[in-house]
Amino acid sequence: MNQTGSTVQSLDRVFDIVETLSNHGNELSISQLCAFTGLNKSTVHRMLASLRARGYVVQTSSGAYRLTFKFCSLSQKIINNVSILPLVLPHLRKLSMSVQEIVHFVIQDNTNTVYLDRLEPPNSNYRSTVNIGMRRPLHTSAGGKIILSSQGPEAWRSYWDNADKTPITPYTITSFERLESEMLIFQRKQYAVENEENTLGYSCIAVSLYDRYNDDHYAITLSSLKSLMTDEHIQQLLPLLFETRDLIQKDIGL
């Protein structure tokens, strides 16, 4: 194998380890990492040594390994570099205070949504379960659904063929037939709904926002307890949600 091929293979192995540590709890032993990644022990040791030297992994008192918060720092820097965010935030704050509900702002990243920001009214009796930088498959949230619905049937099929279909809750979409049915409805209504498909006990509605200059797809979402997100309440929230979206588009020139 030439040097370039060897370097690429090493990078793949490093990311295999990083993603495995991220996906399997707080910490993992060498043996567990070998089992999950299929890599041999000497390779795992070597990759972990590089990650430790750069400050991305630490070894715990039990001898296992976990990721450090340096990844959070990288994530926050990426989010801060999203140029639209400072322009959108005043509108999102106003919306959250006006309706006294949780507001999220998300962006599409391939088959996932990434949560760029979260706003909560100060006197709310419930809190968002979402962390900034969190990723979720598009079909599991209202924000992801409304983004996907705007892209048409071919995109829906391609998405489903490549998506992570692991259910997050018992209510998460698990068939293309259901996904397609919802996409047609949301495409017509221009807003999407999600009921306990991402977090048990919570429901959400969303509208999309498209940045034609950078070809980025965003969504603004309103989340509340499922018991409060009745059909009547949704109809009360929608005009303000659409108004916020329209004001953002006007102010930014999208």
DSSP for 169-190, written as a single string: STTS---HHHHHHHHHHHHHHT
H or E element at residue 75? helix 70-80
Per CATH, the number for 75-252 is 3.30.450.40
pLDDT of residue 234: 94
Structure tokens at 209: 């926002």
Candidates 1.10.1740.10, 1.20.120.80, 1.25.40.10, 1.10.10.10; correct CATH number of 3-68? 1.10.10.10
H or E element at residue 240? helix 231-252
Structure tokens at 111: 């088959």
pLDDT digits (tens, 9 = 90+) for 169-202: 999 999 999 999 999 999 999 999 999 999 999 9
pLDDT digits (tens, 9 = 90+) for 75-112: 666 655 556 788 889 999 999 999 999 999 999 999 99
pLDDT of residue 75: 67
pTM of the predicted model as reported, rounded to 2 decimal places? 0.70
Report helix angle 176-189 to 153-162, nearest 10.
140
Domain ranges of the chain: 3-68, 75-252
Give the three-state DSSP class for 216.
strand
C-alpha closest to that of 197 among 164, 165, 235, 170: 170
DSSP string, 103-134: EEEEEEETTEEEEEEEE--TT-SS-----TT-
Q: Report residue 158's pLDDT band, with 50, 70 and 90 as the boundaries.
A: very high
The 10 Å CB-count burial string (b at 16+, else e) for 161-195 is eebeeeebeeebbeebeebeebbeebbeeebbbbe
Q: Report residue 114's pLDDT band, with 50, 70 and 90 as the boundaries.
A: very high
- Name the H helices within 24-67: 30-37, 41-53
pLDDT of residue 61: 86
Give the three-state DSSP class for 199.
coil
H or E element at residue 162? helix 153-162
Q: Report residue 241's pLDDT band, with 50, 70 and 90 as the boundaries.
A: very high
